[in-house]
Amino acid sequence: MTEPLPVVVSPPSSTGGRRVRVDGQILGLAYGVSDVVEFLRRAGMDEADTYMVETSMFIDWRGGGPEVWSRSRDGEVGPAGA
């Protein structure tokens, strides 16, 4: 069995969204977990689903976990809609 490719979800940008990379390649800017799922499926990870994305130890969530999608006015990261 091969090891999963490294997945990195960057901290939320100042304009919204989080950059998603797989094996160093940028797949796109995600605005929610469903976007991350779609990017991973397009990258060949057909088994990707919401539960896997939210709980996988192979995804490096930087600047907050899967519940964080925006920055507050003071630059702190916060949950979606904060």
What's the structural domain count of the chain? 1
- Give kind and range of the element (H or E) at residue 54: helix 50-55
What pLDDT is recorded for position 9? 98
Amino acid at 61: W
Distance, in Å, from the CA atom of 75 to the CA atom of 46, rounded to the nearest integer, reads 35
pTM: 0.83
Tens of pLDDT, residues 5-14: 789 999 999 9
Question: pLDDT tens for residues 33-74?
Answer: 999 999 999 999 999 999 999 999 999 999 999 999 987 655
Per the domain annotation, does 80 fall within a domain? no
Domain presence at residue 24 = yes
CA of residue 28 relative to chain centroid, distance? 10
74 is a domain residue = no
Is 77 inside any structural domain?
Answer: no
Report if residue 73 sits inside a domain: no
- Judged against a pLDDT cut of 50, whether residue 82 lies above it is answered with no
The residue segments making up the domain with residue 40 are 7-68
* Bigger pLDDT: 24 vs 79: 24
